[in-house]
Amino acid sequence: MKLKFLPSALIAAAAFVTLAGYTTPAQAQEKVLNLYSARHYSTDEALYNNFTKATGIKINRVDADDAGILARLKAEGAASPADVILLVDAARLWRGEVDGLFAPVKSKALEDLIPAQYRAKPTPEGTAWFGYSTRARVVVYDKAKVKADDVDTYAKLADPRNKGKVCTRSGSHPYNLSLFGSVVEQTNPQAAEAWLKGLVDNMARAPKGGDTDQIRAVGAGECQIAISNTYYIARLIKSEAPADKALMDKLGIMFPNQTTGGTHVNIAGGAMAKNAKNPDNAVKFLEYLASPEAQNYFANGNNEWPTAKGVNVSNPALTAMLGGKASFKAETISASVVGMNQVKVQQMLDRVGFK
Ligand code: FE
């Protein structure tokens, strides 16, 4: 069953009207899992169906974006029917954790399968969230106008040689907050702020739109360098549209910091809801997401890399993006630390005028 996301004014009421009927604790714990998901990919359907087939647990799904889900959980409070939450960014997972929206999970299977870098810092109560796929934040550039050497580190994006060339989405978007939070760790707060100032000085235009809009702006000649998550690039690589093929022919793709700390990677992940009415089913689902079958759907469905140890997914668009290589050097900074830095980063953005 799929439930439409409702305007915030209706959120609290909707919790009772739409979900209370089948989530009373008495009948819970048996066959139901209420999932709030910020992921909306066709392969996720197959993933949910297979979980139901394997366990007999039916999934009721609420689709919304990350901010909408976090707001909804807060509004619903203890009455929330949510059992599992899926979000698509470390900064948001960290936010959900510190706002007390998640119930820590103790699972040997998940601790064994998901590398420590891609899950919340464990506490005696358990682990607040687990990352199930990674996406890298990379650089796309106009091959005719920009040398690969001029964009092979994040640091160089702020170098005067790239003045007037850079396009990016808003600095406050979680994808950028996480990237900048990683730069703080790879350098130091003072250097990171100077770097952000340099990035503002190098902008071709004020930040607007999403990652794909930045890539298209490079194609249109509005700018020459863009920052994007890898799955947006993979979608364009897979596109059959002649305009997209022409666009991708023009563009170079750079995984920055390959000879230093590695390229920044972000995660999509899941958590058990603080007030889960079906906690056993929630843990079963979170563990299922780390299985090879689910990892294949979860990661490949959005052209991402799986996080679970021992799972490899072959995706031609990702291989093409890496110039035929199977992998790249990813940063080793914990997603938790990156998420935590967002508050510091937002203050820096305000100081340097990064909209
Ligand atoms: Fe996205």
Give the integer Cα–Cα distance in Å for 326 and 272.
Answer: 33
Side-chain-side CA neighbours of 147 within 13 Å: the count stands at 4
Do 84 and 161 lie in one domain? The reply is no
Domain count along the chain? 2
What integer is the mean pLDDT of 96-118?
97
Do 37 and 70 lie in one domain? The reply is yes
Do 17 and 57 lie in one domain? The reply is yes
Whole-model pTM? 0.90
**pLDDT at residue 28 above 50?**
no
Average pLDDT, the chain: 92
According to the model, what pLDDT value does residue 16 have? 37
- Inter-residue contact 257 to 263 (CB < 8 Å): yes
Do 129 and 216 lie in one domain? The reply is no
Question: Could you tell me which of 41, 33, 38, 27 has the C-alpha nearest to residue 59?
Answer: 33
Q: How far is the CA of 89 from the centre of ligand 1 (A)?
A: 9
Do 26 and 171 lie in one domain? The reply is no
> What percentage of residues in the chain have a pLDDT greater than 90?
87
Do 119 and 202 lie in one domain? The reply is no
Residue 40 pLDDT class (50, 70, 90 cuts): confident
Domain encompassing residue 171: 134-263+323-352
Q: How far is the CA of 229 from the centre of ligand 1 (A)?
A: 7
Q: How far is the CA of 164 from the centre of ligand 1 (A)?
A: 25
Sign of the CA dihedral running 240, 243, 246, 250: negative
Q: How far is the CA of 20 from the centre of ligand 1 (A)?
A: 31
Do 20 and 103 lie in one domain? The reply is yes
Q: How far is the CA of 88 from the centre of ligand 1 (A)?
A: 7
pLDDT in tens, 284-340: 999 999 999 999 999 998 999 999 999 988 899 999 999 999 899 999 999 999 999
Question: Could you tell me which of 83, 64, 92, 59 has the C-alpha nearest to residue 8?
Answer: 64
Q: How far is the CA of 179 from the centre of ligand 1 (A)?
A: 14
Do 140 and 158 lie in one domain? The reply is yes
Residue 6 pLDDT class (50, 70, 90 cuts): very low
Other CB atoms within a 10 A radius of the CB of residue 138 amount to: 24
According to the model, what pLDDT value does residue 31 have? 93
Q: How far is the CA of 304 from the centre of ligand 1 (A)?
A: 11
Position of tokens 């390959």?
258
**Phi then psi for 167, rounded to 5 degrees?**
-120, 135
- Inter-residue contact 130 to 121 (CB < 8 Å): no
Q: How far is the CA of 38 from the centre of ligand 1 (A)?
A: 10
Give the integer Cα–Cα distance in Å for 132 and 286.
Answer: 9
Give the integer Cα–Cα distance in Å for 295 and 132.
Answer: 7
What integer is the mean pLDDT of 155-180?
97
- Inter-residue contact 233 to 321 (CB < 8 Å): yes
Q: How far is the CA of 39 from the centre of ligand 1 (A)?
A: 9
Q: How far is the CA of 175 from the centre of ligand 1 (A)?
A: 8
Residue 41 pLDDT class (50, 70, 90 cuts): confident
pLDDT in tens, 275-290: 999 999 999 999 999 9
**What Å distances lie between residue 209 and 174, 176, 228, CA to CA?**
14, 13, 12
Q: How far is the CA of 140 from the centre of ligand 1 (A)?
A: 16
Q: How far is the CA of 68 from the centre of ligand 1 (A)?
A: 15
Q: How far is the CA of 240 from the centre of ligand 1 (A)?
A: 21
Q: How far is the CA of 72 from the centre of ligand 1 (A)?
A: 20
**Phi then psi for 253, rounded to 5 degrees?**
-120, 125
Parallel, antiparallel, or unpaired: how do β-strands 251-254 and 2-3 relate? unpaired
Q: How far is the CA of 268 from the centre of ligand 1 (A)?
A: 10
Q: How far is the CA of 10 from the centre of ligand 1 (A)?
A: 26
Q: How far is the CA of 84 from the centre of ligand 1 (A)?
A: 20
Q: What is the CATH number of the domain that holds 15?
A: 3.40.190.10
Do 190 and 126 lie in one domain? The reply is no
Do 89 and 204 lie in one domain? The reply is no
Q: How far is the CA of 250 from the centre of ligand 1 (A)?
A: 23
Residue 44 pLDDT class (50, 70, 90 cuts): confident
Measured N-to-C along each axis, helices 279-288 and 42-55 cross at an angle, to the nearest 10 degrees, of: 120
Q: Give me the DSSP letters along 10-51.
A: GHHHHIIIIIGGG--TTTTTTSEEEEEES---HHHHHHHHHH
Give the integer Cα–Cα distance in Å for 222 and 217.
Answer: 5
Do 12 and 123 lie in one domain? The reply is yes
Q: How far is the CA of 246 from the centre of ligand 1 (A)?
A: 23
Contacts of 327 (CB under 8 A, 6+ apart): none
Do 69 and 213 lie in one domain? The reply is no
**pLDDT at residue 4 above 60?**
no
From the DSSP assignment, how many helices (H) and strands (E) are in the chain?
Answer: 15, 11
Q: How far is the CA of 332 from the centre of ligand 1 (A)?
A: 22
**pLDDT at residue 346 above 70?**
yes
According to the model, what pLDDT value does residue 29 have? 56
